[in-house]
Chain A
Amino acid sequence: MTTDTRSERRPTSTTFTRWLGAAVLAGLAWLALFGLVLSPNDRVQKTGVRILYIHVPTAWLAYLAFIVTGVCSVGYLWKRSRNLQWDRVAGASAEVGVVFMGITLVTGMLWGKISWGTYWTWDSRLTTTAFLFVTYIGYLAVRDLGGTHHQRARRSAVLALLAVLEVPLVHFSVKWWRPLHQQESVAEGKLNGLMMFTLFVGLVAFTLLYVWLVLHRQRAMAMDDMVADQGLDAALAERREEAVR
């Protein structure tokens, strides 16, 4: 395959993202091997513990994604030059964060059914997590409300700076209120060695996946913006022509 055809089939790919993509696939396969086969059953939760290796990394990466969105929003608002690249990374990161948070919620519900005996309950961790998820769906909708690229960037950056405050609320919800959800395990060293290693494999795999997805998504967004600009340029040219006529 020639470079040209390849670049048209994968217009957002570079050599780096191709290698990264291969590492992501290897990481996820490694995670499935350890998570489903090589790691031990838990003394109390038995096989249910295996959901931890996807539930926890996706939750952490969703937090990270929303923090990156907040930081990039500051980046956009900070400089007078108002570089739209910051805005696109913010948007791409939020979108990936919503996908990861959705996975956290679904895997958490499945885990809840086998250990708690229910898919859902209104405790502080579950309720605040659902609120965080819904907030960032709202953030993505606000990005799509129309207007110029800078109008979109400004209003979504302000919203992102407010929304990111929910991340510590979710994280500390298990300490601030009485939850059903368990307390922190990792920082308190309450995971058996091989279980901790499997969680680490999951964390690495999902971190690489996050970077890969954000790189591709923000490049696709850059092209969407270019296409919109082309439309605007064409409309302006047409308008000028009409005015001269």
Chain B
Amino acid sequence: MDLSPREVVPTAPGRKRKRPWLAMGVLAAVLIGGGVLVFQFLTNAIDYYCNVDEIGVKDGCDVGRTIRIQGVVEKGSVSEAGSGRTEFVIGYHGATMPVVVGSQPTGLFQECIPVVVAGKVVEDGGTRVFEGTEVIVKHDNNYDAENADRVDQANQEAAACSQKD
């Protein structure tokens, strides 16, 4: 029996080896996408935000640097500042920070809810103001039915929120 290597005939019907181009393309896209995700993880996710009381104290939470800050929207602090701007104050562990954003925050934005604001702290005549570009609401992990007997509880929590430290 002749078992010597056979000459390859590329046009032989049904003998064309299927090249996994699609799989290779997907794999290349996955490697690029994975790289982008690792980059975003290292630059954004690890230190996603600074708490209000860490500004100017913790490494990476410096004044003048683009960061995200986290705190609870103080009761009675939300107001329209004209030309579509919104002002409010956020507090965390006794520290507070006035915030100005160029738009009306969406989502569940309201008083007494934790938020994360992206932007930077600027010194304005000796006082610090956070100039925000994006407001993201940071809701908690409690889920309860919306009904009348819980309105009181909600009001109590809301009243207590600005005294929180």
- A–B interface present (Cβ within 8 A): yes
1/0 per residue A31-53: CB within 8 Å of B?
00000000011111110110010
Binds B, one of A10-18, A127-135, A208-216: A127-135
- Complex CA gap A52/B143 in Å reads 10
Residues 207-241 of A, flagged 1 when their CB comes within 8 A of B and 0 if not, give 00000000000000000000000000001000100
Given A134-B37, A138-B30, A235-B15, do A45 and B135 touch, yes or no (CB 8 Å)? no
Chain B residues near A93 (CB-CB < 8 A):
none
Q: Which of B18, B47, B116 contacts A180 (CB 8 A)?
A: B116
* Distance from A78 Cβ to chain B, minimum over Cβ atoms (Å): 27
Stretch at the interface among B19-27, B80-88, B90-98: B19-27
B33 at the interface (CB under 8 A from A): yes
156-206 of chain A: CB within 8 A of chain B: 173, 177-180, 182-185, 188, 190-192, 194-195
Contacts of B19 in A (CB 8 A): 146
Per-residue A-contact encoding for B36-68, CB less than 8 Å = 1, 0 else: 011011011111110000000000000000000
Q: Give every chain B residue within 8 A of A8 (Cβ-Cβ).
A: none
- Selected interface stretch from A60-68, A69-77, A112-120: A112-120
CB atoms of B139 and A122 under 8 A apart: no
Bound-complex Cα distance A126 to B46 (A)? 12
Instruction: Considering the complex, give the chain B residue whose CB is closest to the CB of A235.
Output: B15
Interchain CB contact (< 8 A) of A134 among B33, B116, B137, B145: B33
Binds A, one of B71-79, B105-113, B121-129: B105-113
Asked, given contacts A117-B107, A118-B136, A134-B37, whether A242 binds B6 with beta carbons under 8 Å apart, the answer is yes
Most buried by A among B45, B70, B106, B109: B45
Q: Which residues of A contact B154 (CB under 8 A)?
A: 43
Would A127 and B44 count as touching, CB distance under 8 A? yes
A135 touches B34 (CB 8 A): yes
Task: Given A127-B41, A131-B38, answer yes or no on A113-B107 (Cβ-Cβ < 8 Å).
Answer: yes
What sequence of 0s and 1s flags, for each residue 1-32 of chain B, a beta carbon within 8 Å of any chain A beta carbon? Answer: 11100100000000101111011101100110
Is A142 interfacial (CB-CB < 8 Å)? yes
Contact between A40 and B145, CB atoms less than 8 A apart: yes
> Is A195's CB under 8 angstroms from B48's CB?
no
Given contacts A124-B48, A127-B45, A177-B46, contact A43 B150 (CB under 8 A): yes
Interface flag for A1 (CB, 8 Å): no
In the complex, whether A22 has a CB less than 8 A from a CB of chain B is no
A242 proximity list for chain B (CB < 8 A): 6
Give the Cβ gap from B156 to chain A, nearest Cβ, in Å. 13
**Min CB gap B102→A, angstroms:** 14
Of the residues A43, A126, A135, contact of B144 by C-beta under 8 Å: A43
Are A141 and B41 in contact (CB-based, < 8 A)?
no
User: Is the Cβ of A180 less than 8 Å from the Cβ of B145?
Assistant: no
Q: Given that A117-B136, A127-B45 are contacting pairs, would A41 and B34 also be in contact in the complex, using a CB cutoff of 8 Å?
A: no
On whether the beta carbons of B146 and A183 are closer than 8 Å, the reply is no
CB distance from A145 to the nearest CB of B (A): 5
CB nearest neighbor in A for B154: A43
7 closest Cβ contacts across the A-B interface? Answer: A117-B107, A122-B44, A40-B145, A144-B23, A138-B30, A117-B106, A141-B26
What are 21 A-B interface contacts by the 8 Å CB criterion?
A40-B145, A40-B147, A42-B145, A44-B113, A45-B139, A52-B143, A122-B40, A122-B45, A124-B46, A124-B48, A127-B37, A127-B40, A141-B26, A144-B22, A145-B27, A146-B18, A177-B46, A178-B70, A180-B116, A190-B142, A190-B143
B: which residues have CB within 8 A of A? 1-3, 6, 15, 17-20, 22-24, 26-27, 30-31, 33-34, 37-38, 40-41, 43-49, 70, 105-109, 113, 116, 134-147, 150, 154
Beyond known contacts A45-B143, A144-B23, A180-B49: 4 more, CB 8 A cutoff = A124-B41, A141-B27, A146-B18, A195-B143
